[in-house]
């Protein structure tokens, strides 16, 4: 720990500590404190569970302080811990004591040798503390800081004993002397101070309390911003990272847990001057092919004026730097340079004290020369008539240079040489309209402002071949045979730019829907098609395949193979059962018709193998009926087929025997009713006619002429089930043996007894518009069904089952309304019919749901009363209709006694009833409706319109009567519905308005008026009535004002001296005249402004 650690901002490990935002910002609740562990040192931490963890340096250990205080760090003798605060983050640094610093005389004595070194007693160091003083920083991976700072060499623990006598904070005044500053350098200084003391009775006494010191430094004097450093117990501190040639002010603050803090006086000092700061890298302000003009700015001189600048460069050889310029100017032009060359420059500043460090290196280039040849282009993708190429910029060209490229191409076999195919700044292009399957040579040039580069290497790419054209139409070579044909074809006129590798011949029958099949595939251009059918039309086509793909198919060749006589027919066989005297024979056509349609068949018969054949049939149909045969005898039959090519061979012999005769008709069967739905049928064996009866067939039906077979078998009895009660049925029996079926016997008839009704098959729910009467659908369900079969007994009624096994019985109807149901409830309903024999089966269930209850009527009130309208309001909704609301209201008004009419229907909650009579009582009621139906009407509300005020009167007439009196008259109003009319006359002089008369008269004389004064009169009518609370009066609007000027009436000739006074008197303006005057003045001003604005607009244009 002899070496001084690097400054705070120069420590790279500080930036690697994952600090949370509230930690860095100096949160009062939790702050991060970094402990710097230098190389060769070890930082020891004791955790809450008593374990010891050692962290070797170099490292920065982040600690989280719960209250912002710095934890005590115990260091070996000869070292001191300092707290540096920078950007809100405090950092503890352990430094050695300065060799020139000597502790004051009153410092506490060193600990005895046997005491463990640098281990102060602290509650956090006790085993198993209840709480961690400093929890670990999240994500740092370090332990809580119950720690000691150790040197790598083995050391003895040092421990100081705290005084138990100072348990309470001292109230005595504490002082500390002014600190001293020594070893002042350009960027550092050493601050030392004496321990605090107490002055009692004029004497100075040192205390045994352990103090913690804070060194505060500022560049702005006593009122400047101070930066604090914390020191544990030591009385020296090294100030680092100071600015050269700067005035600083420093003070020391001593504090402890038992005494008040003591603040020293400020000490001022000035740091020394030093070499300048490194300047910024120079900049290029102008460049040519052979010169670079550089310019730079001065850096901080650190108290001594910069005298010269040293510019170094690598001479464009990327070697060691050499001096290029030394002087006091801030720019320099470097000449005699090579074009398109990279140069590096760096700059240093010098003052009287020394030279600064060099700036960052500037890398620049002189203007370029002709670019080098680029690499040859590469093929991205090839097509039939296009090629897509790309290339790269030339090597060694700066990215700042603007290059354009020229791509030249030459077609293989042409004599035109290379020609430009692309010119632009892109690094790729697509060349179109090229010849298919053709080789092209390419090269590329690079252009810049200096000229054109040499060509790249020549590369050669080819377009791909196209699909070949279709071959020629196939042709028949030689004669067409019945089973084969030989075809040939020519190659296509256009091979697509490549050789044809494969020809594919396809064949298909000419009939519709036939599929093409491959007959051959290869390089040959002729083929023999075998295994053809005679007399059949075939279609043939051919296509070819090259490197460009598959061509279109050629034109179709149609070939017809010749026909041959048909093959042998199959042996004839019976069509149905043999009969006693005739045989119905059929046979299948020959498997091969010879390619021609069969025109006729020939059948021959013989009584045996030795008997001579004779022809018995010749015709087109492959069937024949042979008559006049003997029952039970065997005959031989042969058939032949013929077409247009000739007669085919005979079929194989067929031996067929005639059958014995069918049985005689049966007698009428015996019918016995077992139940209403079951009848037992029995019959006897008829005459067999030479063969035993093998089968009986029973026909059954409700109509005698339309019966169907319900039984077929050898038994003599059958039980018919599933019959309809009270229904008449007919039946008959037929006997069958090996010879065939006999005729049906006589018919029997039976009627089944009556039974319970059948099940109802159609049951459905009636909609609201299908019900005649208005029903409350929230409590009712209307059902309808079709009447089932009564089964011979009249239906008496129906049982309707719904809900929880609830049954409702109705008479013989086909509709019913279920009442007193629960609203908004789903019911399962089924129905059964009954008669005097019992109840029938239930019908299938149906599901029906009652509607919810309709809404209740809202409360209604009159919001605004008027003499000819009433504004009604109901409910709590808005006045206007809401789109999403499904509730509507029907407002009705009584027009006659007990008769209401609808005056409004809609979703709004207000409605204004107009065109009403004054002082009249009206009756209203309201109803709410929604999807569930119409609700009940509310109670009847009564609202009365107010009385109408009297109308406005015309302006009164005023006539002067004498010098000081005038008479005012006005029009008369008729009484309003027997209510008396009174008149109110007002007189206005200036701004004062007085009521001079109120009564039923229509004139009034005003006296005591002044001469040459202007008066205004207006009158209104009032309506007097009694409303039960007393006499009321309703006044109408006032009439317009009548202006009257009183003049003195003279009986003698007018005084000549009074004339001028009368002419000079100005008549005062009325309110209407004054308003009109203001309107005229405003119009004149507005027109003037409009004219001026239009004038200036025209002038500006």
Tell me the pLDDT tens digit for each residue of 499-557: 888 999 999 988 888 899 999 999 898 999 998 888 888 999 999 998 888 899 999 99
CA 36 distance to own-chain centroid: 53
Sequence-ordered alpha helix ranges (H) in 874-972: none
CA 834 distance to own-chain centroid: 63
Instruction: Report the pLDDT value the prediction gives residue 1069, as an integer from 0 to 100.
Output: 58
**Secondary structure letter of residue 773 according to DSSP:** S
Q: Which two tokens stand for residue 745?
A: 């016997």
Instruction: Report the pLDDT value the prediction gives residue 140, as an integer from 0 to 100.
Output: 39
* Mean pLDDT, residues 683-695 taken together: 84
* Mean pLDDT, residues 202-212 taken together: 78
* Mean pLDDT, residues 870-874 taken together: 93
Q: Which two tokens stand for residue 843?
A: 């019908």
Q: Give yes or no for residue 661 having a pLDDT over 70.
A: yes
**Cα→Cα distances 474→55, 561, 909, 1094, Å:** 96, 16, 91, 91
Q: How many CB atoms lie under 10 A from the CB of residue 844?
A: 10
Cα–Cα distance for residue pair 1001/12, rounded to 1 Å: 111
Instruction: Report the pLDDT value the prediction gives residue 50, as an integer from 0 to 100.
Output: 61
Instruction: Report the pLDDT value the prediction gives residue 877, as an integer from 0 to 100.
Output: 64
Nearest CA among 244, 240, 248, 253 for reference residue 267? 248
Q: Give yes or no for residue 136 having a pLDDT over 60.
A: no
For residue 1084, give the 3-state DSSP assignment. helix
Cα–Cα distance for residue pair 835/831, rounded to 1 Å: 14
Cα–Cα distance for residue pair 235/119, rounded to 1 Å: 19
pLDDT tens-digit series, residues 580-612: 788 899 999 988 888 888 889 999 999 877 788
Under the banding of pLDDT at 50, 70 and 90, the label for residue 14 is: very low
Q: Give yes or no for residue 1013 having a pLDDT over 80.
A: yes
For residue 1095, give the 3-state DSSP assignment. helix
- List, in sequence order, every beta strand (DSSP E) within 453-556: 459-462, 475-476, 485-488, 502-509, 517-522, 526-529, 537-546, 549-550
544 vs 962, higher pLDDT: 544
CA 941 distance to own-chain centroid: 54
Given a contact cutoff of 8 angstroms between Cβ atoms, the answer to whether 482 and 595 are in contact is: yes
pLDDT tens-digit series, residues 312-324: 999 888 889 999 9
Mean model confidence pLDDT for the chain: 81
Cα–Cα distance for residue pair 641/418, rounded to 1 Å: 81
Cα–Cα distance for residue pair 985/956, rounded to 1 Å: 9
Is the Cα dihedral 192, 198, 202, 203 positive or negative?
negative
Instruction: Report the pLDDT value the prediction gives residue 1063, as an integer from 0 to 100.
Output: 33
Is the Cα dihedral 290, 296, 302, 306 positive or negative?
positive
- Listing DSSP states for 972-993 in one string gives ----BTTBEEEEEEEEEETTEE
CA 571 distance to own-chain centroid: 78
**Cα→Cα distances 946→874, 897, 914, Å:** 21, 22, 13
208 vs 128, higher pLDDT: 208
Given a contact cutoff of 8 angstroms between Cβ atoms, the answer to whether 217 and 231 are in contact is: no
Q: Label the pairing between strands 31-37 and 89-96.
A: parallel
For the ranges 36-45, 68-77, 450-459, 1080-1089, the maximum mean pLDDT occurs at 1080-1089
Instruction: Report the pLDDT value the prediction gives residue 421, as an integer from 0 to 100.
Output: 87
Cα–Cα distance for residue pair 334/91, rounded to 1 Å: 49
- Listing DSSP states for 696-709 in one string gives EEEEEEEETTEEEE
Nearest CA among 274, 74, 66 for reference residue 159? 74
Instruction: Report the pLDDT value the prediction gives residue 543, as an integer from 0 to 100.
Output: 93
Under the banding of pLDDT at 50, 70 and 90, the label for residue 348 is: very high
R_g (Cα) of the chain, nearest Å:
65
Cα–Cα distance for residue pair 820/822, rounded to 1 Å: 7
Instruction: Report the pLDDT value the prediction gives residue 78, as an integer from 0 to 100.
Output: 63
Interior angle at CA 321, CA 319 and CA 322, nearest 5: 120
Instruction: Report the pLDDT value the prediction gives residue 629, as an integer from 0 to 100.
Output: 82
**For 133-137, 242-246, 467-471, which range has the lowest pLDDT when averaged over its residues?**
133-137
Under the banding of pLDDT at 50, 70 and 90, the label for residue 2 is: very low
**Cα→Cα distances 572→176, 585, 624, 830, 1087, Å:** 144, 6, 9, 64, 122
Is the Cα dihedral 701, 704, 709, 714 positive or negative?
positive
Task: Please give the model's pTM, rounded to 2 decimal places.
Answer: 0.31
Q: Give yes or no for residue 1016 having a pLDDT over 50.
A: yes
| End-to-end CA, the chain | 85
Under the banding of pLDDT at 50, 70 and 90, the label for residue 777 is: confident
Backbone angles phi, psi at 57, to 5 degrees: -85, 165
pLDDT tens-digit series, residues 393-447: 888 776 656 788 999 998 887 878 888 889 998 899 999 988 888 889 999 998 8
Is the Cα dihedral 314, 315, 319, 324 positive or negative?
negative
- Helices (H) and strands (E) in the chain — how many of each? 4, 81
- List, in sequence order, every beta strand (DSSP E) within 320-449: 322-327, 331-334, 342-351, 362-365, 378-382, 387-390, 404-411, 419-424, 428-431, 439-448
Q: How many CB atoms lie under 10 A from the CB of residue 839?
A: 15
Helix, strand and coil content of the chain, in percent to the nearest 5, comes to 5, 40, 55
Given a contact cutoff of 8 angstroms between Cβ atoms, the answer to whether 145 and 74 are in contact is: no
Q: Give yes or no for residue 827 having a pLDDT over 50.
A: yes
Given a contact cutoff of 8 angstroms between Cβ atoms, the answer to whether 14 and 91 are in contact is: yes
Q: How many CB atoms lie under 10 A from the CB of residue 767?
A: 9
Under the banding of pLDDT at 50, 70 and 90, the label for residue 799 is: very high
Given a contact cutoff of 8 angstroms between Cβ atoms, the answer to whether 179 and 267 are in contact is: yes
Under the banding of pLDDT at 50, 70 and 90, the label for residue 208 is: confident
Q: Give yes or no for residue 151 having a pLDDT over 80.
A: no
Cα–Cα distance for residue pair 980/998, rounded to 1 Å: 13
Instruction: Report the pLDDT value the prediction gives residue 687, as an integer from 0 to 100.
Output: 81
Given a contact cutoff of 8 angstroms between Cβ atoms, the answer to whether 985 and 1070 are in contact is: no
Beta-bridged to residue 783, according to DSSP, are: 765, 816
Beta-bridged to residue 548, according to DSSP, are: none
Instruction: Report the pLDDT value the prediction gives residue 211, as an integer from 0 to 100.
Output: 83
Cβ partners under 8 Å of residue 431, min gap 6 = 386, 387, 388, 389, 407, 409, 421, 422
Cα torsion for 910, 911, 917, 919, to the nearest 10°?
-10
Cα–Cα distance for residue pair 921/903, rounded to 1 Å: 16
**For 159-168, 719-728, 780-789, which range has the lowest pLDDT when averaged over its residues?**
159-168
Instruction: Report the pLDDT value the prediction gives residue 71, as an integer from 0 to 100.
Output: 66
The CA-based diameter of the chain, rounded to the nearest angstrom, is 183
């Amino acid at each position: 720990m002899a070496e001084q650690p690097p400054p705070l901002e120069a420590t790279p490990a500080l930036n690697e500590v994952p600090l949370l935002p509230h930690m860095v910002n100096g949160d009062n609740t939790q702050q991060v404190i970094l402990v710097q562990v230098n190389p060769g040192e070890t930082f020891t931490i004791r955790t809450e569970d008593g374990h010891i963890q050692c962290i070797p340096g170099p490292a920065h250990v982040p600690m989280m302080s719960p209250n912002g205080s710095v934890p005590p760090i115990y260091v070996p003798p000869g070292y001191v811990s300092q707290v540096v605060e920078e950007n809100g983050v405090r950092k503890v640094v352990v430094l050695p004591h300065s060799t020139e610093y000597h502790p004051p005389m009153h410092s506490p004595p060193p600990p005895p040798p046997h005491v463990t070194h640098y281990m102060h007693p602290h509650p956090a160091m006790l085993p198993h503390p209840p709480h961690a003083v400093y929890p670990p920083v999240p994500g740092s991976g370090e332990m809580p800081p119950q720690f000691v700072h150790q040197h790598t060499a083995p050391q003895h623990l040092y421990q100081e004993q705290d005084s138990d006598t100072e348990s309470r904070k001292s109230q005595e005044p504490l002082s500390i002397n002014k600190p001293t500053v020594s070893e002042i350098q350009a960027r550092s200084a050493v601050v030392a101070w004496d321990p605090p003391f107490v002055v009692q009775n004029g004497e100075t006494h040192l205390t045994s309390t352990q103090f913690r010191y804070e060194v505060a430094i500022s560049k702005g004097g006593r009122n400047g911003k101070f930066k604090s450093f914390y020191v544990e117990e030591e009385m020296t501190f090294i100030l680092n990272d100071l600015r050269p040639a700067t005035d600083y002010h420093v003070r020391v603050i001593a504090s402890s847990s038992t005494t008040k803090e003591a603040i020293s006086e400020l000490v001022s000092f000035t740091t020394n001057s030093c070499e300048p700061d490194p300047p910024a890298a120079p900049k290029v302000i102008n460049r040519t092919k052979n010169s670079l003009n550089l310019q730079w700015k001065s850096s901080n001189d650190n108290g001594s004026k910069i005298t010269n600048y040293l510019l170094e460069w690598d001479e464009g050889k990327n070697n060691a730097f050499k001096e290029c310029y030394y002087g006091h100017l801030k720019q320099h032009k470097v000449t005699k340079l090579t074009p398109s060359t990279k140069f590096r420059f760096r700059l240093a500043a010098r003052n009287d004290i020394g030279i600064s460090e060099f700036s960052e290196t500037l890398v620049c280039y002189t203007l370029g020369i002709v670019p080098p040849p680029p690499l040859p282009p590469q093929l991205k993708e090839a097509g039939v008539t296009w090629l897509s190429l790309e290339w790269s910029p030339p090597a060694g060209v700066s990215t700042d240079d603007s290059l354009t490229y020229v791509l030249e191409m030459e077609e293989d076999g042409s004599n035109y040489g290379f020609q430009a195919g692309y010119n632009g700044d892109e690094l790729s292009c697509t060349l179109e309209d090229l010849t298919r399957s053709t080789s092209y040579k390419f090269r590329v040039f690079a252009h810049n402002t200096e000229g054109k580069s040499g060509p790249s290497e020549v590369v050669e790419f080819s377009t791909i071949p196209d699909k070949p054209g279709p071959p020629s139409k196939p042709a028949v070579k030689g004669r067409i045979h019945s089973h084969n044909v030989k075809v040939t074809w020519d190659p296509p006129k256009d091979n697509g730019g490549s050789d044809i590798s494969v020809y594919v011949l396809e064949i298909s029958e000419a009939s519709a829907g036939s599929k093409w099949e491959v007959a051959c595939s290869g390089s040959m251009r002729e083929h023999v098609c075998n295994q053809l059918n005679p007399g059949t039309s075939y279609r043939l086509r051919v296509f070819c395949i090259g490197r460009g793909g598959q061509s279109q198919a050629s034109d179709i060749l149609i070939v017809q193979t010749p026909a041959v006589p048909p093959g042998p027919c199959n042996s004839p066989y019976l069509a149905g059962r043999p009969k006693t005297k005739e045989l119905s024979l059929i046979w299948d056509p020959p498997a091969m018709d010879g390619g021609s349609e069969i025109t006729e068949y020939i059948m021959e018969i013989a009584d045996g193998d030795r008997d001579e054949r004779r022809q018995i049939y010749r015709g087109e149909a492959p069937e024949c009926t042979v008559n006049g045969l003997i029952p039970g005898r065997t005959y031989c039959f042969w058939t032949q087929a013929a077409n247009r090519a000739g007669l085919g061979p005979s079929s194989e012999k067929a031996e067929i025997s005639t059958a014995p005769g069918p049985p005689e008709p049966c007698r009428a069967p015996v019918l016995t009713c077992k139940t209403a739905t079951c009848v037992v049928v029995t019959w006897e064996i008829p005459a067999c006619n030479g063969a035993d009866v093998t089968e009986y067939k029973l026909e059954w039906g409700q109509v005698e002429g339309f019966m169907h077979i319900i039984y077929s078998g050898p038994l003599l009895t059958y039980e018919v089930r599933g019959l309809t009660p009270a229904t008449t049925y007919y039946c008959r029996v037929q006997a069958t043996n090996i010879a065939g079926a006999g005729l049906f016997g006589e018919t029997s008839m039976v009627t089944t007894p009556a039974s319970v009704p059948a099940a109802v098959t159609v049951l459905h729910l009636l909609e609201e518009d299908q019900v005649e009467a208005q029903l409350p659908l929230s409590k009712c369900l209307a059902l309808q069904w079709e009447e089932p079969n009564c089964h011979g007994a009249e239906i008496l009624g129906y049982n309707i089952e719904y809900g929880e096994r609830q049954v409702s019985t109705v008479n013989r109807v086909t509709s019913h309304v279920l009442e007193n149901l629960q609203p908004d409830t789903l019911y399962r309903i089924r129905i059964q019919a009954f008669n005097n024999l019992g109840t029938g089966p239930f019908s299938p269930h149906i599901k029906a749901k009652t509607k919810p209850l309709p809404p209740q009527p809202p409360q209604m009130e009159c919001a605004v009363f008027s003499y000819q309208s009433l504004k009604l309001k109901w409910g709590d909704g808005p006045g206007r209709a809401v789109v999403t609301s499904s509730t509507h209201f029907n407002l009705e008004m009584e027009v006659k006694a007990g008769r209401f009419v609808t005056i409004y229907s809609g979703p709004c909650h207000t409605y204004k009833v107009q065109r009403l009579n004054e002082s009249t009582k009206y009756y209203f009621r309201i109803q709410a409706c929604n999807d569930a139906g119409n609700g009940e009407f509310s109670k009847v509300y009564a609202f009365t319109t107010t009385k109408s005020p009297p109308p406005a009167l015309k302006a009164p007439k005023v006539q002067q009567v004498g010098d000081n009196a005038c008479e005012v008259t006005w029009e008369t109003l008729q009484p309003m519905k027997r209510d008396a009319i009174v008149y109110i006359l007002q007189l206005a002089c200036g701004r004062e308005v007085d009521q001079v008369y109120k009564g039923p008269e229509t004139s009034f004389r005003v006296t005591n008026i002044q001469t040459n004064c202007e008066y205004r009169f207006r009158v209104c009518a009032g309506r007097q009535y009694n409303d039960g609370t007393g006499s009321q009066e309703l006044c109408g609007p006032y009439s317009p004002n009548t202006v009257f000027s009183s003049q003195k009436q003279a009986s003698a000739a007018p005084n000549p001296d009074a004339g001028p006074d009368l002419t000079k008197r100005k008549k005062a303006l009325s309110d209407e005249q004054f308003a009109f005057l203001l309107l005229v003045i405003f119009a004149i001003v507005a027109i003037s402004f409009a004219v001026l604005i239009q004038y200036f607009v025209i002038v500006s244009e």
